[in-house]
Structure 1
Amino acid sequence: MKVVIATLNAKYIHTSLALRYLKAFNASEFDIEIAEFTIKDPAMSIAADLYSRKPDVIGFSCYIWNIEETIAVADMLRKVLPDVKIVLGGPEVSYDTAEWMSRLPAVDFIVMGEGEETFRDLLRQLAGERKYHFVFGLAYRKEGQAEAVLNPPRPKLDLNEIPSPHRFEEDIPSLRNRVVYFETSRGCPFSCQFCLSSIEVGVRYFDMERVKADLTYLIDSGAKLIKFVDRTFNIKRDYAMEIFQFLIDNHRGCVFQFEITADIMRPEVLDFLAEHAPPGIFRFEIGVQSTNDVTNLAVQRRQNFAKLTRTVTKIKESRKIDQHLDLIAGLPHEDYDTFRKTFNDVFALRPEELQLGFLKMLRGTGLRRDADKFGYIYMERAPYEMLGNDLMPFGDIVRIKRVEDVLDKYWNAHRMDRTMEYLVSRVYASPFDFFQKFGDYWEARGWSRIGHQLEDLFIRLWSFLESDAPAELDRDVAFGLLKIDYYLQHKYKPRKTWWDDRMDKKEWTSGLKWAAERMSMDERELQKKAALDRLPFDHGLWMQDGRVDRSEGTALVVLYSGEEAPPRLVALPLPDGRAAERHPIL
């Protein structure tokens, strides 16, 4: 019996942990092939690939990001492989399963919930007596009947009975270039009503020695990024601390990302990480979602924002760990103004990345069941994103999406950190107000529907600032900071700039000679490796306390060393005043 298990990942760099669990659990009895695609691959190409494998059984792992594309592929396969058995599994089809079976006549079986044992028992029946009613956790149709039979759910599996999903030799060549997903536990202790994890009661853990052995194998095999998919990695403190320590001792340059509940992090854990974590090795993803107490109560989300702030601040001050904070727009009891407050509360923490998402009414969640209570309207097909509710109409959702667009391009991408900090802290009433105004301007010009080069992003921000021009905007400062940010975005000396007020040849030559003398560098070497520009204010004084002194300007020298080293900015006070005495090379 030829068995193929497949999924459509969101991106090529992603890998499916679920498929590898299924293969590992069944390897002693069945020869199973893994086939991974992406949601951008044409359905015809995917169907053709699977058809060429001549399977007897095809299983698909289904999520909100791939279900509709998966259905299209399954429908094709049913027509070209009429005898193949098509099996769906995964969180997207584990709820409202009878509805899925009714909607999808091309599908023969659905594995509900945790799939390792259920899929194995289904394969045994397909290879044997085909008594499907013996398979707990399975949905199927009796021969000649359209209505589905849903068997009772399966008891939870002892996690340590599952073989490692990380030991397949065929995965080794791609480890360096793909994301490796890793579990140390299953389940979540919280009951957030918008999340599928709230449905599973309790948390189960893999054996610590097994976890360490698998991590060692992956690191030794060349993995560069491992994402832990545990819903709350730090809920069991001693377990988390032991893994932190193990990774600190054995990381060898690999990066590890965790989902952290920040308000339960103990001070001693924060002190340990601040002292011992190597810079850049750990990344934390923290779901804040809302700072509105009424909202959190409505979705059964316990959160102490003061403690969360303490944790995020302490981690940021250590400069060891990047933090990714999540927000959800559209939760109950949150209108446009209260979401604006939530956004500003969280942005004040200055996370390296602030992810602004929109509520998805996931199948099986309490919030979907209570949709009428809050007046929710939402997409009928995946990803089930909300379109409005009693307090946040569709028009507000559309506006906040504009915030999301420019937030990702300008803050999360870190293309112009100096300029962004100036604008959100000193020019606009709040960070949200800046991103909203800029997002509205961006959308009005149709830029959300076209591509962008690096220069375009700078030009479009400058166009917005000249158009909006609030009284608090200092044009010289904004333009100067944009120049600096642009130069520092390049690994090599840029051949062109996006602005027009460039130095003429005579000014460039004399400036280069003067800078070479001040920096004790060979003039010809400096010409090859450096960009030279000027600011109409004292950069040193600005960096020191934010004051703008136009009586003394600054010469900017940006040194480029190539791919391995970031560019280095040198700010030299111009030799026409007291700045040369106050500030040496800065």
Structure 2
Amino acid sequence: MKVVVAALNAKYIHMSLAIRYLKSFCEKDFEIEMAEYTIKDPAMNIVSDLFEKNPDVIGFSCYIWNIAETIKVAGMLKKIKPELKIVFGGPEVSYDTEEWMRKLPQVDFIVMGEGEETFHQLLQEISTTQKYHFVYGLAYRKDEEIILMPGRPKLVLDDIPSPHRFKEDLPSLANRVVYFETSRGCPFSCQFCLSSIEVGVRYFDIERTKRELLYLIESGAKLIKFVDRTFNIKRDYALEIFDFLIKNHGGCVFQFEITADIMRPEVLDFLAENAPPGIFRFEIGVQSTNDTTNELIKRRQNFKKLSRTVTTIKNSGKIDQHLDLIAGLPEEDYDSFKKTFNDVFALRPEELQLGFLKMLRGTGLRNDADKYGYIYMDHAPYEILGNELLPFSDIVRIKRVEDVLEKYWNAHRLDRTMEYLVEHEFSSPFDFFQEFGDFWESRGWQRIGHQLEDLFTRLEQFLTSRRTNHFEGIRGLMKLDYFMNHKYKPRKVWWEERLDKQKHSELLRSIAEQPERVSPAFAELGLGEKDLHKHAMIERLPFDWKTYQETGRFDSTRSTLLLVCYQLQGDQPLVFTVPEEEQIAV
């Protein structure tokens, strides 16, 4: 019997962990082939490829991001090959399963919950006696009746063979995201999250975990994302894995979901002292700083301790942090969410993700939707359209905040400019992103694409429209940010006023002849005039750069000529100031 396990991933770089677990658990008894696609692939292409594999059974891994496309593909396959057995499994179909069975006649079976053992037993029954009432955790049809079998006991995790040792994965390992788990389950009960439904946390043996990680690192993996819901819940386990990865990272990057307010000081001290910069990334779910909201969603959180952890990690300079917010939680209206946003933005995470509540099947909040007056999408991803405190009009406005937050803060295109604007020019960070988002929408820019230069010119138009204080100084910061966004000397700039070409050439010649007048560090680069013309740019800032670096304020009584040199050391250009006597010449 030929079996295919398939997944439609959000992006090509993602690797489905689910289908690899299914293959590893079942391949001892069945011929199992993995097939991965993306949700952007044409359905006809996916169907054609699966048809060519000529399977007897296809199992699809189903999530909110791929369910619509997966249903379409399954429907086409069933029409082409009616005798094909189609199995759905995954979190999206593990709840409201009877409804799914009624809606999807093209699906023969649904595996509910943890799937490895159930799928294996189902394949045994398909290939032999077809007594599906023996398969716990299975939904199937008997004549016209839909049968939902009771759930099965949880697996002992170490009984599952490794999902990471397939030879077919090795050629692309370095170019894809590897998903990895050291545990299953979550100790918390957040009512918006599916993980709250499973009681308890189970761990893989730590020595097995180390062997698997070392194999992936030595096989060329460059990014490993741990899918544990709270990686640091077991301090000693987490600390031992951190230590192991520090000693064996091999240039790989590791991303973890952590709960920041329970992070122990000794773990923070260990990471600050021992972690190489850039190998760890932490994702921290804050969601809300409203105490009433957190109580209603059964989310235990000490924001003071969370802030201390985030600040300590940031001050170490070793680990990038990604903080999550959810708009639309109970008792969180527009003003309350604005406070949540500003509370969390004050921590200055490298990335702040603003998401919107999704009423996932099986969660407590979906079951209590009427209690809070929620309306939400009938289809995946079940995002809210409003509730009794946050109408759709407010959701639309917050989405504009999300849009410019992604483009300007999370993309790190204008870090210096952003920091100045939110600190000095607007009442709060949220007010900046909201006002700019509203302006962006009013200009219709959400309907057209953008290049790097557009981000600068559109911000300039926005600041001009509101007659922003210190506008020329801010434009100077924008110019510097633009230079710092390039690994090579940019062919064009977005501003019109430039130094006179002749004076520019004279200045470069003078700098090449007496480089020590710029700085000893610059002189050590040994750049001649030809090198400078090829790899350097000079631009005037309308304020004293040294004063700004020391105080964060503009001194407009003096200007500064910056010398920006590319392709010299690493990816970042080097910035020098041209001495005053050289500035006089231009």
Q: TM-score, normalised by structure 2?
A: 0.97
1:419 pairs with 2:417? yes
What is the rounded CA distance, in whole Å, between the counterparts of 1:78 and 1:525 in structure 2?
65
| Other-structure match for 1:14 | 14
Structure 2: distance between partners of 1:515 and 1:275: 41
Cα offset, 1:573, TM superposition: 4.3
Letter of the aligned partner of 2:127 in structure 1? A
Cα offsets for 1:126-177 (capped at 9, x unmatched):
00000000000000001x31x3100010110000100000000110111100
Describe the SS at the equivalent of 1:328: strand
SS at match of 1:47: helix
Quote the Cα distance in structure 1 between the aligned partners of 2:577 and 2:339: 38
Structure 1 outlier segments of 4+, above 6 Å: none
Matches within 5 A, 1:252-271: 252-271=250-269
Structure 2 CA distance for aligned equivalents of residues 297 and 546 of structure 1: 39
Match of 1:443 in 2: 441
Query: Where does residue 505 of structure 2 map in the other structure?
Result: 509
Alignment of 1:119-268 (within 5 A): 119-142=119-142, 144-145=143-144, 147-268=145-266
Q: Relative to structure 1, is the Cα distance of residues 44 and 533 closer, same or farther in structure 2, using a 3 angstrom cutoff?
A: same
Report what 2:400 is aligned to.
402
Q: Deviations over 1:89-136 (max 9, x none)?
A: 000000000000000011000000000000000000000000000000
Task: Report the equivalent of 1:489.
Answer: 485
Q: Aligned match of 1:538 in 534, 540, 544?
A: 544
1:358 aligns with 2:359: no
Q: 3-state DSSP class of the match of 2:136? A: coil
Q: What is the identity, as a one-letter code, of the residue corresponding to 2:82?
A: P
Aligned to 1:110: 110
Q: 106-115 or 559-568, which moves further after superposition? A: 559-568
How far apart, CA to CA, are the structure 2 residues paired with 1:175 and 1:29?
Answer: 27
Distance in 1 between residues matched to 2:398 and 2:320, nearest whole Å:
25
Which stretch of the first structure deviates more once superposed, 293-302 or 498-507? 498-507
Report the equivalent of 1:584. none
Aligned pair 1:557/2:555, yes or no? no
SS for the counterpart of 1:234 is helix
**Alpha-carbon distance in structure 1 between the residues aligned to 2:141 and 2:583:** 87
Q: Which runs of 5+ in 1 are unaligned?
A: 579-586
Native 8 Å contact 2:58 2:85 kept in 1: yes
Whole-Å Cα distance in 2 between the matches of residues 284 and 468 of structure 1? 37
8 Å CA contact retained: 1:553, 1:574: no
Instruction: Give the match for residue 306 of structure 1.
Output: 304
Paired residues of 1:552 and 1:573 also in contact (CA < 8 A): no
The C-alpha deviation readout for 1:346-380, integer Å capped at 9, x for no partner, is 00000000000000000000000000000000000
Helix, strand or coil for the counterpart of 2:202? strand
Q: Report the Cα offset of residue 504 of structure 1.
A: 1.6
Q: Secondary structure at the match of 1:364?
A: coil
Letter in 2 for 1:231: R
Measured after TM superposition, the shift of residue 562 of structure 1 is: 6.3
**Which residue identity does 1:233 align to in structure 2?**
F
SS of 2:549's equivalent in the other structure is helix
1:563–1:537: structure 2 CA closer, same or farther, 3 Å change rule?
A: closer
Distance in 1 (CA, whole Å) between partners of 2:258 and 2:571 is 31
1:7-37: per-residue Cα shift (whole Å, max 9, x none)?
Answer: 1000110000000000000111011000000
Q: What SS does structure 2 have at the residue aligned with 1:515? A: helix
Which residue identity does 1:481 align to in structure 2?
Answer: L
The residue type equivalent to 1:213 in the other structure is R
On the 8 A contact 2:56/2:85 being kept in 1, the answer is: yes
Q: How far did residue 563 of structure 1 move?
A: 9.0
Cα distance in structure 2, aligned partners of 1:78 and 1:59: 13
Q: Supply the distance in 1 between the matched residues of 2:471 and 2:240 (Cα, whole angstroms).
A: 52
Alignment of 1:386-401 (within 5 A): 386-401=384-399
1:333 aligned counterpart, secondary structure = coil
CA shift, 1:565, in A, is 3.0
Number of the residue aligned with 2:274: 276
Once residues 276 and 563 of structure 1 are traced to their aligned partners in structure 2, the CA distance between those partners, rounded to angstroms, is: 25
Structure-2 separation of matches of 1:514 and 1:418: 30
The secondary structure found in structure 1 opposite 2:99 is helix
Following superposition, the deviation at residue 218 of structure 1 comes to 0.1
Give the direction of change, closer, same or farther, for the CA distance of 1:564–1:540 in structure 2 (3 Å limit).
closer
Contact 2:230/2:257 (<8 A) preserved = yes
Which residue matches 1:347? Answer: 345
For each residue in 1:556-579, what CA deviation from the matched residue of structure 2 results, as whole angstroms up to 9, or x when unmatched? Answer: 11110169432111123433899x
Q: Distance in 2 between matches of 1:55 and 1:362?
A: 32
Separation in structure 1 between the aligned mates of residue 355 and residue 560 of structure 2, nearest angstrom: 41
Does the 8 Å CA contact 1:62/1:91 hold for their aligned counterparts? yes
Cα-to-partner distance string for 1:201-253 (whole Å, 9 max, x where unaligned): 00000001100000010000000000000000000000000000000000010
Which residue, 455, 458, 461 being the options, matches 2:456? 458
Distance 1:347 1:542, change over 3 A: same
* Contact in 2 for aligned 1:4/1:55 (Cα 8 Å): yes
Answer yes or no: is the 8 Å Cα contact 2:561–2:583 preserved in 1: no
Encode CA deviations 1:493-522: one digit per residue, 9 max, x unaligned.
Answer: 111101001112122123223433333442
Residues 1:375 and 2:403 aligned together: no
**2: distance between equivalents of 1:479 and 1:565?**
24
1:9-158 equivalent positions in 2, closer than 5 A: 9-142=9-142, 144-145=143-144, 147-158=145-156
Contact map agreement 2:507 2:582 (CA 8 A) in 1: no
Quote the Cα distance in structure 1 between the aligned partners of 2:85 and 2:288. Answer: 44
Closer/same/farther in 2, CA of residues 577 and 570 from structure 1, 3 Å limit: closer
Q: Which amino acid is 1:302 matched to?
A: R
Give 3-state SS (helix, strand or coil) of 2:556's partner: coil
Q: Distance in 2 between matches of 1:549 and 1:267?
A: 41
- Residue 576 of structure 2: which of 570, 575, 581 is its match? 570
CA separation of 1:562 and 1:129: change in aligned 2, threshold 3 A:
farther
Q: Deviations over 1:287-333 (max 9, x none)?
A: 00000000000000000000000000000000000000000000000
- Say whether the 8 Å CA contact 2:232–2:259 is kept in structure 1: yes
Question: Shift of the alpha carbon at 1:468?
Answer: 1.8
Q: What is the percent sequence identity of the aligned residues?
A: 70
Instruction: Tell me the distance in 2 between the aligned counterparts of 1:530 and 1:484.
Output: 13
Is 1:478 the counterpart of 2:474? The answer is yes
Distance in 2, matches of 1:563 and 1:194, equals: 47
Tell me how far apart the structure 1 counterparts of residues 553 and 113 of structure 2 sit (CA, whole Å).
60
Asked if the contact 1:533–1:555 (Cα under 8 Å) also holds between the matched residues in 2, the reply is yes
Letter in 1 for 2:248: N
Please report how far the alpha carbon of residue 524 of structure 1 lies from its aligned counterpart in structure 2 after TM superposition. 2.1
Structure 2 Cα separation of the partners of residues 546 and 90 of structure 1: 51
Q: TM-score normalised to the size of structure 1?
A: 0.97
